[in-house]
Structure 1
Amino acid sequence: MITFPRLLTDRSALFLDFDGTLADLAQRPDSVQVPRELVPLLDRLHDRLHGALALVTGRAREDIEPMLSPWRWPAAFEHGSVRQSTHGSSLQPEPLGLAAVLQAARNLAAHHTGLLVEHKRTSMALHFRQTPSLEALCVTTMASAIANDPDLQLLRGKAVVEVKSARVSKGRAIEAFMQEAPFAGRAPVFAGDDVTDEAGFEVVQRLGGEGIKVGDGPTCALHRCPSPDALRTWLSDSLHTHTPTP
C-alpha cells in the first residue's frame, strides 16, 4: 500500500538515499540521470529545515558530488564510512581485508563481460545489472572472500553486492547526525529504496520518526511510495504547503 507520512514540518530532520530514491536506477552507476530540479529542490529543503537535511548513500563522495553540483549539504557516504557534517568530516580506515576481496572481484570480472567492480575509499561494490544471470556467482564469490574476516560485511542490494566494514551502516550514520545540531531534537524521516536502507529505517523509527520505502520489496519502513518521481513530488509539496510544528 502506498502511504506517505505527513508533510515535513519545521521540526523535521530529513535523511535521503540517492540511487533509486532521489534518482532512478540505471544500467551503470555512472549512467544515472539526475533530474534538473533535484539540486534546487534539495537546496530549498535544506533552507526550510534550517540545515537539518543530509544525504545518506552507499556512493563514494568523489563519485556523487559532481552529479549534484554545487554541493552544500551534510552527507554520509559509503554507508557511513565517510561522514561530512556541519561540524567537520570523519573517515573510517579501509578494512585490512578489503584488498583480497577486491582482487577476487576483479578476477571474476576479468572472466565475465558486463561485471563492474567499484573501489571506493573504504568499501567496494560488484555490479551485475548488465548480467543478472551472474547474481548467484557474484554473491558466492564475495561471500567466500570475506568468510574468515569478521571485520567485513556483505551487503546485497539491487543488482549489486557490496563489501564494507562491519562497524558502519546507514543507521549508525543517522544516529551520529541525530546527536548533533541542527538535527538533534527533531523528528527524523529517512527515504531509501534498498535492503541497505533498512538499518536507517529501523533507527529513525526507534527515534520516533518515520521511514519511507521507495518501490517494491519487503521493508520495516512505516510508509511506501512508488518511485523517485513520487518522492520528489512529496518533498516539493512539503515546501509549498505550510505544515505547523505538531
Structure 2
Amino acid sequence: MDFFTSERMRRQDAGGAGGRGQAQGRAARPSGFMPVMSAMARPDVSLPPALGEDIALFHDLDGSLLELASRPEAVKVAPYLPVLLTALHRRLGGALAIVSGRQIQTLDRLLYPLRLAGAGLHGAELRRDLRGSIETTATAGSGDLPEALRRYFSDDPRIVIEDKGMAVAVHFRLAPERAAECEAVAAALASAMGLSATQGKMVIEVLPPEVNKGQAVQALMTLPPFAGRRPVFVGDDLTDENGILVAQAMGGYGIKVGAGPSVAHYRLGSVPEVHGWLAAGAGLRDFA
C-alpha cells in the first residue's frame, strides 16, 4: 500500500470522529517538521526603537510589508511602497535586503521598479547586491514533489500547491479544516525526499534542509554594505524566527509583526504600523 492510499484510508477512518483533516483538533506534528524554538513565548515585547543609520535591515515581505492574501498571486502592493523602500535604501546606505519565501524574480516584479539585494526561497536564492545575479545556495531542489502534492490534493481546488523550483509551498488558507492533513502529507513526502517541512501561516513550506532565513542573514552580513552594521530582522511568521534569532545573536534585534509567539525583542501590530515605522526611519513625514 503506498502513502497516498494509506493516508486517504486514515482520513476516511477519522471522518466520523472529528471530520476531514481533524478540524477539531491538531494531530501530533509529523517527524518531518523543523523543531520550533521553545523560547518563543514573549508576550512582554515592546515597540521598536527608531531606525538608526548604523542598521542593516532585513525584511520579510508577505505579512510584514504586504498584507496576506487568500492566494500568493492575489497580494496587493501599496503604490507608495517602492518609493518608501527606495528612500529607506538611500537612508541606510544600501543596507536593506528583502528576505522572503518568494523567488527573487517575483520580488522584483512585485516591487518594480525597485531592485534590492536579498534572499529568496528562504535563503535558497541569494542576490548579494542590487546589480548582482541570482545565486542558488541549496544543493537539491523539490524534484517531483509538486506533482505528487497536486495529485494528492486534486480533489480540492482550495488547496494551492506553489512550485517555486527549489521549494514548494502548500497553501490551505481557503481550506483550514484540512490543515492537519496538509501538514502530515507534506511532512511525509518531504522526509522521503530528504527535504524539510516547516509550518507557516496557513501554509507548509518544503525546503532543502540546509536552507533558512538565518543563514541568509549571516551570508549577507559578511558583505558590504551590510558588514559592520547592527542587523535588524522584521518578520511575521515562524519561518522568520531563524532570521530574528541570528540578528539578535549578532548584536541587533528582531521585530515580530502581528500576534503570536516570537523570540523577537520588539513588536509591531500590523503591516500599516510597519510602514509607519519605516517611513519615520527613512525621514519621511505624513507618508502613505
TM over 0.5: yes
Distance 1:158 1:228 in 2: 15
- TM-score, normalised with respect to structure 1: 0.92
Kept after mapping to 2: 8 A contact 1:78/1:120? yes
Query: Comparing 163-172 with 63-72, which one deviates more in the overlay?
Result: 63-72
Pick from 193, 202, 214 the counterpart of residue 257 of structure 2. Answer: 214
* % same residue: 38
Structure with the larger strand share: 1
SS in structure 2 at match of 1:147: helix
Within-5 A mapping of 1:50-199: 50-86=93-129, 88-93=133-138, 95=140, 98-150=142-194, 152-199=195-242
Distance 2:204 2:235 in 1: 17
Task: Give the alignment's Cα RMSD to 1 decimal.
Answer: 1.5
Unaligned runs of 5+ in 2: 1-43
Kept after mapping to 2: 8 A contact 1:128/1:159? yes
Per-residue Cα deviation, 1:85-123 (whole angstroms, up to 9, x for no partner): 126532135625x22422331112311121111111211
Distance 1:10 1:143 in 2: 42
Query: Comparing 134-143 with 105-114, which one deviates more in the overlay?
Result: 105-114
Unaligned runs of 5+ in 1: 242-246
SS in structure 1 at match of 2:134: strand
Distance 1:46 1:23 in 2: 18
Distance 2:147 2:72 in 1: 21
Query: Comparing 157-166 with 85-94, which one deviates more in the overlay?
Result: 85-94
Kept after mapping to 2: 8 A contact 1:171/1:199? yes
SS in structure 1 at match of 2:58: strand
Count the aligned residue pairs.
239
Shift of 1:239: 1.9
> What is aligned with 1:38?
81
Distance 1:120 1:232 in 2: 27
